[in-house]
C-alpha cells in the first residue's frame, strides 16, 4: 500500500532528522518513490503529519495489553520493546511535542494508558487509584524517556537484553507498590 509506505518513511525521517526533516520531497526520496508522490497523497504538510501520527497510533494500539499474572514483567517487556524500536518511539515523542502547538493531533493520539493505569492501581489496592494511576503513568513515561533520550540512554543496559528487562521490571515493581 503506497499510503503506508509513505507514512512509514515519514516516521523514519522524523526519528532521524526531527520534524524539520519532514518534507514532501524528503519522504519521496526516503520511500524510493518518484517526486510528487507524497504530495499527491498528502497535499498539505498538515495532512502529512496527521497521516504519520495516525500510523503511529495504529501501531501502538496493539502493544498495550498487560498480562494480569505478571503485570510488572509484561509492562517491562513492553517498555523494552519500545526502546528497541527506537525510531518509532522517537517519532512518537516528536509528535507529542508537535501536538502542543497543533491540538488536532491530540485526538489522534489516544491516551488510553491513563485509564489502564488507574485500573491497575485499583487492582493492586491503592487507596487513591486515580492519583496512583497518574503517578504510575508518569513514572512509566519517565522511565521510557530517560532511557531513550535522557541520561539513561548512555548509562543504562542495552535495550533488548535480559538485563534491560530485569532492570525495568525492578523499577516497575517498585512503582506499583502501594
Partner DNA sequence: CTTCCTCCTCTACAGATGTAGAGGACTCTA
Partner DNA sequence: TAGAGTCCTCTACATCTGTAGAGGAGGAAG
Residues near its own copies, by CB under 8 A: 16-20, 90, 93-94, 96-101, 111, 113-114, 131, 134-135, 137-147, 149-152, 155-156, 167, 170-171, 174-175
Q: Which of 169, 100, 178, 107 has the alpha carbon at shortest distance from 140?
A: 169
Q: How far is CA 7 from the centre of its chain?
A: 16
Query: Helices 2-17 and 45-63: crossing angle, nearest 10°?
Result: 90
Secondary structure of residue 45 in the 3-state scheme: helix
Query: From CA 29, how far away is CA 40, in angstroms rounded?
Result: 14
60 binds, among DNA, its own copies, none (CB under 5 to 8 A by kind): none
Binding status of residue 111 toward DNA by CB under 7 A: no
Window 29-88: residues binding DNA (CB under 7 A): 33-37, 39-41, 43-46
- Comparing CB distances to DNA, the nearer of 23 and 116 is 23
Nine-digit cell string for 97: 511535542
Secondary structure of residue 20 in the 3-state scheme: helix
119 binds, among DNA, its own copies, none (CB under 5 to 8 A by kind): none
Window 87-106: residues binding DNA (CB under 7 A): none
Cα dihedral 158, 162, 165, 168, rounded to 10, equals -70
Binding status of residue 16 toward DNA by CB under 7 A: no
158 binds, among DNA, its own copies, none (CB under 5 to 8 A by kind): none
31 binds, among its own copies, DNA, none (CB under 5 to 8 A by kind): none
Beta strands in the chain (DSSP E): none
Part of the chain binding DNA (CB under 7 A), chosen from 25-33, 80-88, 138-146, 159-167: 25-33
Residues forming contacts to DNA in the complex (CB under 7 A) are 2, 22-26, 33-37, 39-41, 43-46
Amino acid at each position: 500500500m503506497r499510503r503506508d509506505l509513505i507514512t512509514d518513511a515519514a516516521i523514519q525521517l522524523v526519528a532521524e532528522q526531527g520534524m524539520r526533516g519532514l518534507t514532501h520531497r524528503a519522504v519521496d526520496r526516503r520511500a524510493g518513490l518518484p517526486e510528487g508522490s507524497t504530495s499527491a497523497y498528502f497535499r498539505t504538510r498538515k495532512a502529512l503529519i496527521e497521516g504519520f501520527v495516525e500510523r503511529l497510533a495504529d501501531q501502538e494500539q496493539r502493544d498495550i495489553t498487560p498480562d494480569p499474572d505478571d503485570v510488572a514483567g509484561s509492562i517491562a517487556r513492553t517498555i523494552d520493546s519500545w526502546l528497541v524500536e527506537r525510531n518509532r518511539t522517537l517519532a512518537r515523542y516528536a509528535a507529542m511535542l508537535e501536538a502542543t502547538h497543533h491540538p488536532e493531533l491530540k485526538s489522534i493520539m489516544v491516551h488510553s494508558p491513563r485509564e489502564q493505569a488507574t485500573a491497575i492501581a485499583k487492582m493492586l489496592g491503592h487507596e487513591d487509584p486515580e492519583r496512583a494511576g497518574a503517578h504510575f503513568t508518569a513514572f512509566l513515561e519517565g522511565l521510557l524517556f530517560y532511557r531513550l533520550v535522557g541520561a539513561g540512554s548512555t548509562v543504562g543496559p542495552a535495550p533488548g537484553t535480559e538485563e534491560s528487562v530485569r532492570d525495568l521490571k525492578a523499577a516497575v515493581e517498585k512503582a506499583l507498590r502501594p
